[in-house]
Every structure is written in C-alpha cells, then in structure tokens.
Amino acid sequence: LWVLPTEPHPAQVLSGSASRDAFRALLYALLQVQAEGQFPLLPPDLPQKPGEGREMIVFISDLYQAQDEMVQCLRRWRGQQHEVICLHLLAQNELTLDYGQDARFEDWETGQRKTVHLASARTQYLEHLQTHLQALRQAVLAQQVEYASFGMHEALEQVFRLFLERRKRLL
C-alpha cells in the first residue's frame, strides 16, 4: 500500500497484508497526511516493488482539480491494470453552503479568494454542485474505477469498514 502525498513529501510504502496491524498502519499514515499544494498535472508513478504487478489502489481525495488531472491519474493507473477505488471526501458545509450570511472562500490549490453573500448564492450553488458531482462521478466510473463519496465528518476507520463491507457483499 502506498500513501502518495503531494511533493515534496515522499510516498510511503506500507505492507499490503490483510492484518489488523496493516490496517492500523494505513489509517495512521493517512492521518499524518496534510492537505497542501496542488495535485500534479502529470499523474504520479507508483513505486514499483520487484516481482509485483497488479495492485489495489485506494485514492482518497476531495477531487478538486485544476483541469482533469485526477481523473487522468485514475485512468493511467487503471490502464496499468491496477484495481482502483476512488473515495471522494466531502465536507458537510460544502454540501449545504452553511457558513452563515457571508463567507470568504480561498481556493487551496490557487490561493484565489472571494467573498460571497450566501443567501443569494445558495440555490444556484447547490444546483451547480449537484451537476458537478454527478459529472465527476460519471468521469470516474467511465475509467472503470469504483467510486464512493463520504463526509469528512465521518470517522476514517468507519468509512473504510463500511466501504469494504459493501464491496465484499457485491463480490
């Protein structure tokens, strides 16, 4: 298993065993990752382990992208015959635009800031958000990548367990 934070931090290679300790190590590594920087326009290569080919990749992201670099990354990994799962994390206030009357937003990828009067923008925002989320979901599924969305308020361990239980029932 790999945890691939943005540069300049190196990828972490974790044991791929199915043990409880490996699962805890994965959760710990994920909790240490800090949200920062931009996703690279060219998809990162996975660290190669000698004698191994196909891997299961769990891609966890808010899926904010400047162009379609994250979908291209998923396409590349899927094209290399890896099994790819995309977990899309969403904040509750992102889904409801519940920030009070006015809010100042900053795009973490570009640093651009904008103040918005929320009462007048909420309806249009929610319509655009639903259209965007549906298009994003379809773009991921078109790459033959499993997709699930979860709230950031949900415990990471619980998110993984629910997803894996649901996936096991489908197999």
Q: Residue 58 in 3-state DSSP?
A: strand
pLDDT band at 8 (very low <50, low <70, confident <90, very high): very low
Q: Give me the number of domains the chain comprises.
A: 1
What is the per-residue pLDDT across 33-80, written as a single tens digit (0 to 9) for each? 776 666 766 656 665 554 566 777 888 888 888 888 889 989 988 888
Domain that holds residue 30: 2-170
Q: Which of 30-39, 81-90, 97-106 is predicted most confidently?
A: 81-90
DSSP assignment string, 117-129:
EHHHHHHHHHHHH
Question: Taking the model in full, what pTM does it have?
Answer: 0.74
Residue 80: the pLDDT is 82
